[in-house]
Amino acid sequence: MSRFKAFTVIIHIAGWLLFMAFPLVFLNSRGHDTPSWSLLQKHSYWFFCYIYIFLFYSNAYYFIPQFFLKKRYTIYTIIVLVLLGGVYYLRPFDKLLRSSEGRSFNQARYFDHPPADRQMPGGPPPYQPDQQASPHPHRGNNVPHRFFHRRPLDSSSLFIFLMIMALSAAIRTAQEWQLTEQRAARAEADKASAELSFLKAQINPHFLFNTLNNIYTLAVTKDDNAPDSIMKLSNIMRYVTDDVTADFVPLQSEIDCISDYIELQRLRISNNTVVNFMVNGNPDGKKIAPLVLMTFIENVFKYGVSKHENSAIDIHIGISNQNITFVCSNRIFKITQENQRTGIGINNTRQRLAHLYPEKHVLNISSENNLYTVRLTLQT
């Protein structure tokens, strides 16, 4: 990363050196006798450079992020028009050109018509314009008028302004696109990590062993629930291995996986635990990031179940036009140090939510009144 930043700085420096060399090359091409390096001593040259450097960085690192990328197009347009008016008023390129032309004209006038006190003895008298030949004596020599006449429109300054603004906007947009691609890549990695974490936490050998044992018991006792339990386990395996490859899946598929998981967990918990699972609203047409809720549901059954004390597990999913609301709670029991929550799964879920739902989710986790409660709201 440090090498990339150093390379970026070098590119910026090289670009501005080329830009600052532009007026020197341009004025030389116009046949000026003044050495190019003497332009570096002129205030108009540095004024020209500072104006466009300021425009480039202010647009790229302030106006574009604060207004354009936040879709505040009207304010951004007004700012650009104000800056355009400022460049039209200041005329940085016109001032630089006039300053250089003024110096060349004075030099040419000095050598073509030297002062009287520098005439050679016996030489011709200094040139005196015919004042009576012109009805306007103060306009007798119109050469300075041609050089110093203020042009109605400094098109060069405006053209450079538009190029600088367009270039800064393009560079900033490219940087934002690159950041978006990086976030997407991180989201993909986090999704893969979440899937792997889910497989290790839920569909691990221990989970499969207990579930298959329970299903075996149902089969031996010829319980009618045995075929249905096998089908639920198969649905979960299919969902976590095949269906969650997309960034977002139908909400109904996620609800079906949660429902099957809860039903399989009912086989192992005792009658001391009551599980309340409710879904309110219509999930049709809604999508959700796959397995984003499973970390919380897994924790509920891992830490909210006791073989000796009564407990209740509440899981609620609310669906509205704009939001998906998930709430789960369980009683807090005194557990040994080995079984305490490490918080790794919760932290991974927080990071995944930040990537998949930037500024579109609210997650609150509380431990009050001996209840561990998770409230998650997702904007759809």
Q: DSSP characters for 139-173?
A: GS--HHHHHHPPPS--HHHHHHHHHHHHHHHHHHH
Pair 158, 297 in one domain: no
Taking the C-alpha atoms of residue 74 and residue 86, their distance in angstroms, rounded to an integer, is: 19
Pair 317, 209 in one domain: yes
Residue 138 resides in a domain: no
Pair 62, 171 in one domain: yes
Pair 18, 107 in one domain: yes
Pair 235, 375 in one domain: yes
Residue 137 resides in a domain: no
**According to the model, what pLDDT value does residue 314 have?**
94
Residue 21 resides in a domain: yes
Helical residues (DSSP H) of the chain, grouped into ranges: 2-29, 43-58, 73-90, 92-112, 143-148, 155-201, 205-220, 226-241, 251-266, 294-303, 344-356
CA distances from 210 to 205, 227, 264, 276, 294 (A): 9, 16, 10, 22, 19
Pair 153, 264 in one domain: no
- Looking up tokens 């609150």 gives 364
**According to the model, what pLDDT value does residue 286 have?**
93
Pair 230, 357 in one domain: yes
Taking the C-alpha atoms of residue 10 and residue 106, their distance in angstroms, rounded to an integer, is: 40
Domain count, the chain: 2
Pair 174, 211 in one domain: no
Taking the C-alpha atoms of residue 378 and residue 210, their distance in angstroms, rounded to an integer, is: 33
Taking the C-alpha atoms of residue 186 and residue 168, their distance in angstroms, rounded to an integer, is: 27
Q: Is 361 helix (H, G, I), strand (E, B) or coil?
A: strand
Q: Decide which of 137, 162, 178 is a domain's last residue.
A: 178
Residue 140 resides in a domain: no
Residue 158 resides in a domain: yes
The phi and psi torsions of 334 (rounded to 5 degrees) equal: -75, 120
Pair 359, 267 in one domain: yes
The amino acid at 71: K
Residue 263 resides in a domain: yes
Taking the C-alpha atoms of residue 329 and residue 373, their distance in angstroms, rounded to an integer, is: 4
**According to the model, what pLDDT value does residue 365 have?**
92
Pair 95, 243 in one domain: no
Among residues 370, 223, 363, 248, which one has the least CA distance to residue 304?
A: 370
**According to the model, what pLDDT value does residue 19 have?**
81
Q: Count other Cβ atoms within 10 Å, centred on residue 156.
A: 16
Pair 107, 222 in one domain: no
The predicted model scores a pTM of 0.48
Residue 129 resides in a domain: no
- Looking up tokens 């009551």 gives 274
Looking at residue 267, what DSSP letter applies? T
What range defines the domain where residue 237 resides?
A: 202-379
Pair 274, 354 in one domain: yes
Positive or negative: CA dihedral 264, 266, 268, 269: positive
Residue 189 resides in a domain: no
The phi and psi torsions of 340 (rounded to 5 degrees) equal: -70, 155
**According to the model, what pLDDT value does residue 20 have?**
78
Average pLDDT, consecutive stretches of 10 residues, N- to C-terminus, the chain (380 residues): 70 81 67 58 81 89 87 90 88 76 46 47 49 46 45 73 87 82 74 58 57 82 84 84 75 91 83 91 90 84 83 93 94 59 66 84 91 92
Q: What is the CATH number of the domain that holds 363?
A: 3.30.565.10
Taking the C-alpha atoms of residue 302 and residue 339, their distance in angstroms, rounded to an integer, is: 9
